[in-house]
Structure formats: structure tokens, C-alpha cells
Structure 1
Amino acid sequence: MADPSLYTYPSPLQGYEDLPPLPQERAADGKSYVNSPAEKKSSAYTSFPSPITNDRRGGFDIHIYFLHTDAEETKFATELWERIRREFPELRIYQIWDKPIGPHTMAMFEVNLFTPEQFGAFIPWLVINRGPLSALVHPNTDDEERDHTQRATWMGQPLPLNLKLFKQLKRRQQQQQKEKGNA
């Protein structure tokens, strides 16, 4: 996992400064607070917050892993892949890879989510239906290493990733920018 101290974090209250204090009134359960109604719903209901992409790439990738040498696990993964294709045809669902590919060190398949509505429907469904398989949920921004580490969420057992690829890509991009600046 990425060291959180490597990154900066804007204040969660950015854009909400200098507002009146929140009410301290408790709800009927005695534990939660009564919130004043918002003037309008958060835009996060309809689009992913920046810097998550809201384009053809998709805002989130979900990688669902399985041990390809285990016949039962492979069968379950194949059946899950088919069920996802049938129940969520609007999502982008990639082929099943029976070997490591990219930073992924195990067999897997990938699903892309394009809207918060899809995220809200698919992630709870996957929590219940993924069986024994691990899944990596990560946003897509312009920082792939951070997306796959510090910003990632795991369902099931976290698995190792080959992060060398991201470091090589970052070095290559920095070299290209350097050469472009010297031209």
C-alpha cells in the first residue's frame, strides 16, 4: 500500500467555510443528528468528484480475482462474469484473463463503472455475490499508482500488485516532459 504521507489532502470542508454551526439536535434514535435540509442535492449523486474521470474510460474499475489453478474458483469466477454480463449489460465487462496482466498478479476480469448510479447498484450487489473472490475497487484519475493503492478499496483478501509498472510509466512520462521542455 502507498504511504499516505506521500500525498497532500485538501480540507474536507473546502467550499463549506464560514457557514453557521450545524444543529446539535439528536434524531429520534438518540444517537444520530438532525441535519438541516440541503438547498440542493450533492452533485456526487450524478457525477464523480474531480479528479475521478467522468468520460469513456469510466470513473471506477473493479478487478475480480481468482486462482486459475483452482477448478472450483475458476468455475465460480466464470459464472460470476456471465451473471454480471447478463444483469448489468450497461457496464463495460472485459474478458477473463487466466494469467497475470498489467499490475495484477493473479487471473482476473475487469468491470468499468461510468456513473454514481452504477456504482451504487453494482458495488452492494458485488458485496453479496462475489463469493470467495477478492475484488479491487479503484477510481480512475491521472495517478494510476495512487488509484491502485491509496485510493483503492478491497473486498475480501487484499492481494499484491506489481507496482513497478506504474513507477516505470511515471519515469517515462517525466522523461517525455523533460525532453518536450528542452525542445
Structure 2
Amino acid sequence: MSEENVTGAEALDQEWANLLSPPRRAVLRRGGVVAALAATAWSGAAAAQQAGAGAAAAAAGQGGAVGAGAGKARAAPVGKSPWGYATDKAPTPRPASVRPGEQALPAKPRAYTDIESYHAHIYFDEDSYQKAAQIRKWAAERFSIELGDWNLEPRGPHVTPSFYFGFNNDLLPVIVPWLQLNSLGLTILIHPNTEDPRADHLYYALWVNRSQPVNAYAMKKPGPDEPKVEQIFINTRPSVKLES
């Protein structure tokens, strides 16, 4: 047993000896044992409380020092804002219409025959690419379509990985409900192909499930040497009868 433990044991023995000394025994005989024990317990609790108060004060002092250091302000950067210092007073400009040439309300509806074909863009990510692969396989097996490559990074106006297939108007009544029932929960953009690709993607679009941003605002109409409407060239050979 260490010297410290011996000292502690001796102190405890002495305390009990004092408690059971002739004067204390007289107190105990008069029913004061509870009071005597309580007095002993109180003296230990008071010592512990004083020790805890000292530790708390030390911790508070350290915390105050840390807080004082954390509250120091950082030096402001030297330089000027590239936007100037009156941006709150700049006028609010009106952005260009997503439909060029239609700044005013049209006098009559646009002819539906302006649509020459459609694109279906199927969006996916690293957690859902297997679903996209299943839809791609099913579509190629069942429809005469133009199936594009995998786009594993944003491409054109599409901001997430995707693949697309193009199809002619005669398949629209079949492919739209087919994609609705076989989307596997993926986001799908279906848009027509007209002479205005920007409006095709932003204004004339259909969505299966959730919509998502399409960065088509800067798209322009085809140039003078380009086809007015994107062409569809069938590259699949259906081999499975469509379920009905």
C-alpha cells in the first residue's frame, strides 16, 4: 500500500475515533448519530465543492482566453470590387425572350406541323446509371429510333449525365406513355424539334417525373448552311414485340 493510501486510511481511522470518543458517544446515546454522520458527510462535500469551484474557475479563465482570441477581427482585404460600389442603383434590364420573334402575344396558334421529330433525353447519375442502361436497352429493342451515345458529363444544354434517342412523329403517341410507365423513376426530357432549338428545350418541353435545369438559353437557330430542323437517322433494328 502506498504512503498516500496509508495516510488516507489513518485519517479515516482518526475520524471514526473522534466520532466514537467519550463525548461523541454521549451524543450518540442521546440519538444524535444521524446528526454526527451528517456533519461528517457535509465536511467532505464542502471540500469537494471547493475543489470543483476552483477547477471551474480555471476552466473559465482558459475559455475566456480562447474566446478573446477567437473574437479578433480579420484584416480587411485590400482592393476594389470589380462590380463597383453602386450596384444597388443599377437599372433592372429585361432579358431577351426565350422565343425569338414572339415578343408580343401571337395573333394565331402555331401549326403543330412545325414539329418534325422529337428527342427524349434520359438523365442519370452514379447511383442510377443501371436504370438508364435498362431503359436504353428496352427502347432499342422495341422502337425504330436514332440512339445517341452515352454522355457521362454535361453536354450541350444538359447539365447532368444523359443519353438521348430521337424518334419521328408517328411514334409520339406510343413512346410518351411508354416512357411514363418505364422511366424507372428517372428524369426524362421530351422535346420537339422545330426551327427554334432554344424554345424546343425551354418552352415546348415535356417532362416525365421531376424537371431539372436545362442550360439552353444561349442556343441559336441553325445557320444558313445547316438544316433548319435537326434530322433523325434511324440506327436501331427492333427485335422485341412491344408489350400491349
The answer to whether residue 117 in structure 2 is matched with residue 64 in structure 1 is no
- Partner Cα distance (2:154, 2:162) in 1: 8
Structure with the larger RCO, 1 or 2 (CA within 8 Å, 6+ apart): 1
Q: CA deviation at 1:129?
A: 0.3
> Residue 50 of structure 1: CA displacement?
2.7
Residue among 124, 139, 146 paired with 2:192: 139
Q: Aligned-pair distance for 1:6?
A: 4.2
In structure 2, how many angstroms separate the alpha carbons of the residues matched to 1:121 and 1:127? 10
> Which of residues 137, 146, 150 is equivalent to 1:92?
146
Note the C-alpha offset of 1:173: 5.4
Runs of 4+ in 1 over 3 A off after TM superposition: 2-12
Q: Take 1:60 and 1:75, find their aligned partners in 2: how far apart are those partners?
A: 24
Tell me the TM-score normalised to structure 2 length: 0.46
Question: Is contact 2:98–2:198 with CA below 8 Å preserved after alignment?
Answer: no
Q: Secondary structure at the match of 2:112?
A: coil
The residue aligned with 2:172 is: 119
- CA distance in 2 between counterparts of 1:130 and 1:119 reads 16
Asked if 1:78 is matched to 2:133, the reply is yes
Query: Residue 11 of structure 1 corresponds to which residue in structure 2?
Result: 108
Q: Could you tell me how far apart the structure 2 residues matched to 1:150 and 1:78 are?
A: 28
Contact 1:102 1:165 in 2 (8 A): no
For 2:137 and 2:104, the matched residues in 1 are separated by: 38
Contact 2:98 2:217 (8 Å CA) reproduced:
no
Secondary structure of the equivalent of 2:114? Answer: coil
Q: 2:113 aligns with which of 50, 58, 78?
A: 50
1:32-62, CA deviations, whole angstroms, 9 ceiling, x for partnerless residues?
Answer: xxxxxxxxxxxxxxxx933212xxxxx1111
Higher helix share: 2
Q: Structure 1 length normalisation: TM-score?
A: 0.60
Change (3 A) 1:7 1:61: farther
Question: SS of the residue aligned with 1:105?
Answer: coil
Aligned length: 126
- Aligned 8 A contact 2:154 2:160 in 1: yes
Describe the SS at the equivalent of 2:113: coil
Give the letter aligned to residue 119 of structure 1. L
Contact kept? 2:187, 2:208, Cα under 8 Å: yes
Segments of 5+ residues of structure 2 without an aligned counterpart are 1-96, 225-244
Q: Percent identity?
A: 25
The structure whose Rg is larger is 2
SS in 2 for 1:86: helix
